[in-house]
Amino acid sequence: MSFEEKMYAYRLKAYQIQAAIQSKKDQTIDRVRHFYDSDSPNGQENYRKAWLDLHLLAENAQLRPTLMQARIEVTDEDQFTKIDKFFFYTFCMSKYFQVKDFSYPIIYCETLEEFFEAYTSDLSLSRTGRGGKIDKLVKECEQNFKLGKSVIQGVDISGVGCYLNGWLFGAKFNLVPKAVLKIPEFAEKVAEVAIHEKIGHGFLTMYSTLGQTLNALGTRNVNDAEQFSREVYTDPLHSLRQKKYDALLVSSWYQQEGWATWIESYISSYYYKNISHPKYQFETLKNAIEALQTKNKEEQEFKQELVVALVALLDDITYPPEVLLKLLDVFKQIPLTFNFNEQLTKTLKQPLQYVLGQLLMLKVEINAGMQCVPHAALLAGNIKLDANEIGLEDLKVLLNTEPRSNTDARLAMISKIKLTHIDDVMELASRCEEDLSIPVPIMYKQSK
């Protein structure tokens, strides 16, 4: 057999395997649709029972004993340092990570100039260009606030600092920024943003493999830009890196915002005791989807796809990873349907990825225990990809077809694991490796 014939045989075999996998996935998805078919009595009963079971599981999880500390006043001068300590102590993080690596400060910026100077610190700009960029961002922020548009509240720069937009909080509450921190109910809102940005996004950036990859792709080389007195945004290489960054970010929407929203809710509830945990219940998204207004048959069919995808993601049935990836993809099509995207955001008061992501984290909390939630987020993001070596289109194909290379699909897989021993991190890691064929870092294999 010639080389060309061998290559043809190999490609034919690969195509047949891929076609068989696709056929099996399609058959499973059809079974899921039939199982939850709203037009049949059996489907309606299965749907009702799945949500009832979820509700009961969530109620039982709420009865578990929780490590509690006395309420810490949010007006304490060192409140932000105490947040870090509470997180590491409550979740026993020192067993796995060095506390000092995560001890960079949370900084409350009282002026927009101070905030945006930090915000642009990793952009490849000349000194002159940076000043112009900051002025432009300040004016845009002031204008957007006046128009009632979204304004950035904080940003975490891994290992450097977590910067909070104090000017924004002052403007919201009609106070000078410093005075906001002296009033408990306002200071709590600031603390929630600090938790979301640092303990949420900052934690994943520093300790997850994917987070480190995203951080590297998102970092611009200031020295290069200053050397040539220009921005590198016009550089094709930078453009390519940005597109890879965006592709990876979309594949980790629910992991990123889900973890940040879950931990914000958890700490705000048990540390500040000012809100209930979880922030979003299962019924929150269920009701929002069921209430969607449709304009035509196509939208009605897509709405039913969302109904089925949500219950299947959250039920207790184990599905092939490829099916979970497909179910998640249904939700990621929503931004393409502006009417639904607008309706859901208005109803939920936050973008979908915050809510669905937090519900997947809540599922982990119910099935594995609260101690396992941060590790589930890290294991979902334990994806080793050399983004500089793989082409953009190959990267997109990998993320969209291989569930074990897709962070959100991995999270959905992990959320289905029911532990024998609640809060046993080592059992969770072992089950990820044995049941899901997801490799885990060596630290989870060592006896602590």
DSSP letters of 193-244? HHIIIIIIIIHHHHHSHHHHHHHHHH---HHHHHHHTS-GGG-HHHHHHHHH
Q: Which three-class secondary structure state does DSSP give residue 143?
A: helix
Confidence of residue 25 (pLDDT cuts 50, 70, 90): low
- Tokens (6 digits) for 390: 């793989």
Confidence (pLDDT) at 17: 58
Cα–Cα dist 403/447, whole Å: 29
Going from the C-alpha of 318 to that of each of 101, 254, 311, the distances in angstroms are 37, 19, 12
Q: Alpha helices of 91-126 — where are they, by DSSP H?
A: 112-119
Confidence (pLDDT) at 5: 65
Burial 287-300 (b: 16+ CB within 10 A, else e): ebbeebeeeeeeee
Contact 404, 321 (CB under 8 A): yes
Cα–Cα dist 210/383, whole Å: 6
Residue 294 makes CB contacts below 8 A (sequence gap 6+) with 300, 303
Name the amino acid, one letter, at 69.
Q
Residue bearing tokens 């979820």: 54
Task: Answer whether residue 288 shows pLDDT above 60.
Answer: yes
Q: What angle do CA 275, 279, 281 make, to 5 degrees?
A: 130
Name the amino acid, one letter, at 110.
E
Q: CA-based diameter of the chain, in Å?
A: 80
Burial 34-54 (b: 16+ CB within 10 A, else e): ebbbeeeeebeebbeebbeeb
Confidence of residue 113 (pLDDT cuts 50, 70, 90): very high
What does DSSP say about strands 106-109 and 154-157: parallel, antiparallel, or unpaired?
unpaired
338-355 pLDDT, tens digit each: 679 899 999 999 999 999
378-407 pLDDT, tens digit each: 999 999 888 888 899 999 999 999 999 999
Tell me what the mean pLDDT of segment 137-141 comes to.
Answer: 94
Confidence of residue 150 (pLDDT cuts 50, 70, 90): confident
Look at 74-88, 294-308, 309-323 and tell me which has the smallest mean pLDDT.
Answer: 74-88
- Tokens (6 digits) for 388: 């500089």
57-107 pLDDT, tens digit each: 999 998 887 765 545 455 556 778 888 888 998 899 989 988 888 989 999
Q: What angle do CA 6, 8, 13 make, to 5 degrees?
A: 95
Asked whether the CA dihedral 178, 159, 409, 42 is positive or negative, the reply is: negative
Q: What angle do CA 304, 305, 306 make, to 5 degrees?
A: 90
Domain boundaries, the chain: 1-35, 44-65+272-444, 79-250
